[in-house]
Amino acid sequence: MLRRENLRNAALVSIIAVLLMGCAFYNRYPLFNSDSGAYIANGFAGFVAPFDRPVFYSWFIRHASLAHSLWYVILAQCLLLAFTIVRVGHLFLANPRRRVMIALSLLLLVFSCVGWYSGQLMADVFTPILALSFINLLLQRRGIGLDAAIMLFAALTHNSNLISLSCVCLLALVLRRVVVPGISRRRLLFGLAVSLGAWLTTMSYHYALGYGFSASRSAPLFLMGKMCENGILQEYLKEACPTENYRICQYRHELPSAGWEFIWSDHGPVAKLGGMEGNAGEYKRIIRGTLTRPKYLGMHALKAVEGTGIQLGQLDAGLFFPALREDSSPYGKVKDYYGHELPEYQNSRQSLSELHLDPLDWIYGGFMLLSSVAVLLILRPRDDNRALRTAYVLLLLFIVCNALVTAAFANVLARLNSRLLWTVSLFNILLLYRELRNFWERRRGVTGNDANQYVRH
C-alpha cells in the first residue's frame, strides 16, 4: 500500500514537472541567458573553480544532461521544483487530492512567471527551490532530511543563495519569539547548520584547488562594480588618490555608471589593468578602506537599504530573452557540447526573436497583487491559520533578504527579484483554494477541521 502511494506521489511530481516545462516547450528549446554558455562550459572543464561563479550548477548541467541533451537539465530542475511545490501544498492543504494539486499548479503556471525560470538554463531556479525547501524543513513533520539535502545543493548553486540563507536563518533565530513564534529552535539550528555546510563545502573546494579558504574568488571585483554603480568608489578615489598609489586612479574620471560595465567591459579599467584576477589585491585594499571609515561605511549601509527598496519595488517579471545567435557564448557552447541539438537552438522562438513577453508583466503582477489583497482580507488571527501565517512570514523574510543581498552585492535587476517573487502567488493560490473549499464545506454542512499540523517541540 505504501509503495503504491509513493508511486502515485512520484507521478504527481512528474506531471507538475512537465507543466513547469511548459514555457521551454513553447520556446521549442530550453531558454537561455547570456550567462548560460559559461555555465555549460564550466561543467565540462572538470574540477575547476571559475572566477566569476560557483561551479556546482555547471556540474548539475553536465551530469543531469548526461552530456547528451539540455532537455534533461530542464526536466531535472523542474522535478526538484515540483517536489518542493507539492511539499508546500501539503502544508496549506491537509492531504490534497492529486488532481487539485495539478489544477492549482496549472493555475500558477498561467498567472506567474514560474515557467520562464524553471525552463531556463540558469541557476535562478534554485533560489525559490531553496526558499521553499527551507520552509518545508521548518514546518513539515516528515521528510526533512530530503528537504535539507535539496537546501544544501540549492545554496551551493549561487553565492547570493548562500548569503540569503544565512541571513534568513540568523534573523529567524534572533527574532524567533516575535516574528516566527512556535518554530522549533532545533529546526532553525538545523537550517543554520545546512547553511554552514554549504559555506564549508564551497570554501573547502576552493582551498583544495589552491585558491585559499574563501567562498568566492570574484567577491572583490563584484563589490567594486557595485561601489562604482552607487557612487561610493568615485567618492572614495577622489579622496584617496592624492595619497594612495592605486593603479585605478588613472581611470578615475572614466569609470562607467553601471556595475556590469565596470566588470565586463573590454574597454574598462578592469580589462586595461590586467583583468579580473590581476586587480584583486588592489580591490581588497580599496574595499577595506571604505569599510573602515565611518563616512563610507554609512554610505554602504544607506545604499544597501536604498537598493533593497528599489529591488523589492520591481514587480515586473524580468523576462528578457534576446536572440543569442552565432557570435554569442550560449550558441558556441551548445555547438561544442550538444551539437546535435544546435538546429533546435537555432529554431527556438528565442533565437528567432519571437518571444514578445511584455504584456505578461501586467498579468503576473496584477494577479499577485490582487490575490495578495484577497489573502490579507481572509487571513485572520485564527489558531488554524497560525502555521500559514508563519509560512508567509518566512517567505517574505526570504524575499527581503534576497533583495538585500542582490542589491548590496550584485545588481538591482527585476530578474533577481522576480525569480523568487512568484512564490507569493503560489502561497496565495493555495490559501485561497483552502478557504474556498472550507467555505463550500460549511455551506454543505460538512464538519471537521483541515487545519495544518504545526511543528512544535
pLDDT of residue 384: 60
Please list the helix, strand and coil fractions of the chain in percent, rounded to the nearest 5, in that order.
Answer: 70, 0, 30
Q: Residue 137 above 70 pLDDT?
A: yes
Percentage of the chain exceeding pLDDT 90: 67
pLDDT band at 450 (very low <50, low <70, confident <90, very high): very low
Question: Is residue 67 domain-shared with residue 167, that is, in the same domain?
Answer: yes
Residue 40 and residue 76 in one domain = yes
Q: What is the pLDDT of residues 252-299, one digit of tens each?
A: 888 888 887 888 888 888 888 887 777 888 999 999 999 999 999 999
* β-sheet bridge partners, residue 31: 120
**CA distance linking residue 258 with residue 231, whole number of Å:** 10
Q: Check whether residue 241 and residue 279 sit in a common domain.
A: yes
Is the predicted pLDDT of residue 340 greater than 70, yes or no? Answer: yes
Distance CA 154, CA 130 (A): 5
Q: What is the mean pLDDT of the chain?
A: 90
Look at residue 63 and tell me whether its pLDDT is greater than 70.
Answer: yes
Q: How would you label 396-432 residue by residue, b for 16+ Cβ within 10 Å and e otherwise?
A: ebbbbbbbbbbbbbbbbbbbbbbbbbbbbbbbbbbbb
Please report the pLDDT score of residue 387 as a whole number: 78
Q: Radius of gyration over alpha carbons of the chain, in Å? A: 23
Do residue 204 and residue 325 come from a single domain? Answer: yes
Residues 240 and 287 in one domain: yes
Q: Within a domain: residue 448?
A: no
Q: How many CA atoms lie within 13 A of 134 on its CB side?
A: 36
Question: Contact 216/277 with Cβ under 8 angstroms?
Answer: no
> HSE-up of 101 (CA within 13 Å, CB side)?
28
Helices and strands in the chain: count of H runs, count of E runs: 24, 0
Q: Does residue 301 lie within any of the structural domains? A: no
Q: Are residues 270 and 159 in the same domain?
A: no
Residue located via cell numbers 557540447: 337
Model confidence pLDDT, tens digit, residues 154-169: 999 999 999 999 999 9
Distance between CA 180 and CA 456 in Å, rounded?
12
State how many domains the chain has.
2
Task: Indicate whether 77 and 190 sit together in one domain.
Answer: yes
Q: Are both 285 and 360 inside the same structural domain?
A: no
Alpha carbon distances (Å) from 31 to 40, 59, 276: 13, 18, 28
Read off the pLDDT band of 453 (50, 70, 90): very low
Q: Name the most confidently modeled range: 124-138, 304-318, 426-440.
A: 124-138
Q: Can you give the pLDDT at residue 449?
A: 47
Whether residue 419 lies inside any domain: the answer is: yes
Looking at residues 79-103, what average pLDDT do you find? 93
Please tell me the predicted confidence (pLDDT) of residue 316: 85
pLDDT of residue 129: 98
In a domain, 408, yes or no: yes
Would residue 69 count as lying in a domain? yes
Q: Which three cell numbers stand for residue 260?
A: 556590469
- Catalogue the long-range contacts made by 376-383 (C-beta closer than 8 Å, 24 or more residues apart): 378/431, 378/432, 378/435, 379/431, 383/451
Say yes or no to pLDDT of 442 above 70: yes
User: Residues 326, 413: one domain?
Assistant: yes
Confidence of residue 381 (pLDDT cuts 50, 70, 90): low
Task: Give the pLDDT band of residue 2 (cuts 50, 70, 90).
Answer: low
Coil vs helix vs strand at 31: strand
- pLDDT tops 80 at residue 452: no
Among 159, 160, 157, 155, CA closest to 194: 155
386 φ/ψ angles, rounded to the nearest 5 degrees: -60, -45
Residue 446 has a pLDDT of 54
Residues 334 and 364 grouped into a single domain: yes
Whether 279 is covered by a domain: the verdict is yes
Residue 278, in any domain of the structure? yes
Listed range (13-22, 158-167, 434-443) with the worst mean pLDDT: 434-443
Task: Please report which confidence band the pLDDT of residue 448 belongs to, taking 50, 70 and 90 as the band edges.
Answer: very low
Q: Where are the alpha helices (DSSP H) in 44-125?
A: 56-64, 70-92, 98-111, 114-118
- Residue 382 is predicted with a pLDDT of 60
Q: How far is CA 429 from CA 130, 289, 306, 364, in A?
A: 20, 48, 31, 13
Domain residue limits at 260: 219-292
250's grid cell: 588613472
Which of 81-90, 122-131, 206-215, 347-356 is predicted with the least confidence, judged by mean pLDDT? 206-215
At residue 266, the pLDDT reads: 81
Distance CA 378, CA 400 (A): 23
Enter the pTM of the model.
0.93
Q: Are residues 269 and 388 in the same domain?
A: no
Asked whether residue 309 is assigned to any structural domain, the reply reads no
What pLDDT is attached to residue 1? Answer: 56
Spatial CA neighbour of 428 closest among 353, 342, 369: 369
**Does one domain contain both 385 and 287?**
no
